[in-house]
Each structure stands twice: as C-alpha cells, then as structure tokens.
Amino acid sequence: MNKQHIPVMMIKAIQALNVRDNLDYIDATFGRGGYSQAILDQAKCNLLSIDKDLHVKKYAKQLEKKYKKRFSFFNSNFTELESIIKKNKKSYINGGIVADLGVSSMQLDDPNRGFSFNKDGPLDMRMSGVGITAQELIYSLNEKELSKVLWDYGEETKSRAIAKLIVKERNKELLDTTFKLVKIIKKVKKNDYKKRIHPATKSFQALRIAINQELKSLEGFLKASEKILLPGARLVLITFHSLEDRIVKLFFNKITGNKSNLNRHVPQEKETKKIKFKIINKKPILPDLEEVKKNKRARSAKLRAIERVIV
Ligand SMILES: C[S@@+](CC[C@H](N)C(=O)[O-])C[C@H]1O[C@@H](n2cnc3c(N)ncnc32)[C@H](O)[C@@H]1O
C-alpha cells in the first residue's frame, strides 16, 4: 500500500465489522485495498472484494498473491452483490459486509479522471470508465435539468445561476476540462471565496453522483445486503455526505425497527414484519479530531453499522 494513502476511519470500520476467523466477508469498495488488507490481517477469514474501477486491479493482484485462496476480487458494481457471491459459490455471507463510499484518493489525485476541481483534466468523472462522461452529461441537459442535478445531488444553493452560466458559456467555447468548469462556477460564486469549502465542491459532487448513479447504486446495494447476511453478520457503511448518509440512516432505521427520524404518522412496513437486524451504534461514529487534521476528506465521514439477529 502507498504511504500517501490513508483509508478513512479504517480501524473503527474494522472494529465495527467484528472480523473473526473462518467467516466470509465482503469489502464492497476495494479502492486501494487498505480496508481489505486490514480485514485479512485481523483474522483468518475469507474476503471477497469488489470495485467498479478497473484501475484498482493491480492492487487486488498484490493481495491475491499474498493471501492466496482467502482473497478474491470482482471488478463490478456492488449492486450486483447477489450474483457476485453466487459466482463464488455462495448464497449467503456469515461474517459481514463493509462499504467505504464515494471516490478514492487515487481517483481524485489522477487529473485524467476529472474528479478534482484542484487539478486540470478532462471532464470525465466515471469511476468504471464506461457510460457517459461529465462533459457529455453537461451538454445533454437543458438549463433546468442541469440546475436540478446541481441542486438534487449537490444541494448547491446557486444551482440556477451556475446552470444558466454553464449553458451560456458551453456554446461559446467547448466546455471540456475541469478548470473551465471551475472558472464558470467561480464567476457565479465570487462572494463565497471566504467560505470553508471550495466554491466548486458542491457542483463537482453533484455531477459525480449523477454520472456514477451513486444514490441509486447505494439503495440497490443495501437491499441486496439485507438479503444475503446471515445471523451474526454485520453491515458497516462509511458515508461522506448528507445525501448518502440519509439513505443509509433511513434504511437502517427501517430494517431495525428504530422509530427515530421516521415519519410516525405514516404506518411503517416494519410494524407488521419481524425485525431481523439490530443497530450497533445509535449515533453515527465520527472520525477522531486527529484523523480529520491529517486527512481533510475524513471530516465529513460517518460510520453506521447493523447486525443480523437470529429470528
Ligand atoms: C473511498 S474508496 C474506498 C477506499 C478503500 N476503503 C481503501 O481502503 O482503499 C471508494 C471506492 O469504491 C468504488 N465504488 C464506488 N461506488 C461503487 C459501486 N457502485 N460499485 C463498486 N465500487 C464502487 C470506487 O471506485 C472507489 O474505488
């Protein structure tokens, strides 16, 4: 593993996963393999790791060499969880599943991937390298649709003004690089410079979520996980923004029967169903101040965990 790479909340996540000998685990977001390696070192367990980004394969190969049959890797979307474990001749998981969501530092640091507003590169933003690019998305949407993406997935309060200027500028000069987009956003958000976050943070987040269908994938992943976890097995999620944390929180509340934050006036499906999961941590676990100081990306991380109970 590269010394520069610091997986966010790794120790807390491995503890929450409760890694034990002879059980099967899934790391649904392999990245550079930091979590995967820590899981394999924690106990004599088996691990199946998934990532939709083909660039990580070289790191997976290193772990295959070191841990032999205990480790396998699938280059796929984690929504395909059920079919992936079937390929590994399994229908259920008895240890647990962890997902450390979002982009990796490896993706952010490579200007050619187009994820970072701090590096000039093509407007790409595709984790898997397939499908439409951010540039194609920007050109395919009208002003209203573009503004909706920036608002829905980035909660960008200046979404309308940014969309308006993008539409005006994209016809004057080809909008094909991250820095050209940053320039447009900065023009709209010129008074926001003193704020803690970069003016393009929310717009870049929004486009990235749209391109990679991140929220839809997360929902599919949670549903698939619910089906395949055996009693005693855990599901651990690390989220990085309120949109994904809200999806995880509501899903966990629903399947554990936790009434907080649910609309009490609406009859809940769970009331008639037997509860099959319990919450491990009532409040989300946050990174220590020390970690946030060392790694800016950790500042918005939240860890939530549940465990399948015997019914
Ligand atoms: C934050 S990084 C994970 C870092 C990892 N925990 C480590 O220790 O290196 C997130 C990874 O999840 C992958 N990813 C995001 N969404 C995915 C999805 N729907 N299916 C599969 N992989 C996904 C990304 O490609 C990225 O490599």
Note whether 154 and 67 are same-domain residues. Answer: no
Listed residues 212, 242, 258: the one ending a domain: 212
Note whether 90 and 220 are same-domain residues. Answer: yes
Confidence of residue 260 (pLDDT cuts 50, 70, 90): low
Listed residues 212, 228, 243: the one ending a domain: 212
Spatial separation of the C-alpha atoms in residues 64 and 212, rounded to whole Å = 27
Is residue 3 a part of any domain in this protein? no
- In this prediction, residue 87 carries a pLDDT of 94
- In this prediction, residue 11 carries a pLDDT of 96
- In this prediction, residue 269 carries a pLDDT of 53
Listed residues 212, 239, 265: the one ending a domain: 212
Length of the chain: 311
Q: Which atom number of ligand 1 is nearest to the Cα of residue 128?
A: 25
Residue 100 reports pLDDT greater than 80: yes
In the chain, count of helices (H) and strands (E)? 13, 7
**Mean pLDDT over residues 149-160, rounded?**
97
Name the nearest CA neighbour of 154 among 218, 246, 247, 241.
241
Residue list, ligand 1 pocket, CB within 6 Å? 7, 29, 31-35, 50-53, 56, 77-78, 100, 102, 104, 127, 217
Tens digit of pLDDT for each residue in 107-127? 999 999 999 999 999 999 999
Residue 1 reports pLDDT greater than 50: no
- In this prediction, residue 265 carries a pLDDT of 53
Is residue 4 a part of any domain in this protein? no
Confidence of residue 197 (pLDDT cuts 50, 70, 90): confident
Note whether 149 and 206 are same-domain residues. Answer: yes
Q: Which atom number of ligand 1 is nearest to the Cα of residue 127?
A: 25
Confidence of residue 101 (pLDDT cuts 50, 70, 90): very high
- What is the domain extent for residue 37? 10-106+214-308
- How far is the centre of ligand 1, averaged over its atoms, from the C-alpha of 127 (Å)? 9
- In this prediction, residue 209 carries a pLDDT of 98
Note whether 218 and 102 are same-domain residues. Answer: yes
- How far is the centre of ligand 1, averaged over its atoms, from the C-alpha of 29 (Å)? 4
Residue 3 reports pLDDT greater than 50: no
**Mean pLDDT over residues 130-150, rounded?**
98
Lowest-confidence segment of 124-138, 171-185, 273-287 by average pLDDT: 273-287
Largest CA distance in the chain: 63
How many domains would you assign to the chain?
2
Note whether 133 and 221 are same-domain residues. Answer: no
- How far is the centre of ligand 1, averaged over its atoms, from the C-alpha of 37 (Å)? 14
Residue 277 reports pLDDT greater than 80: yes
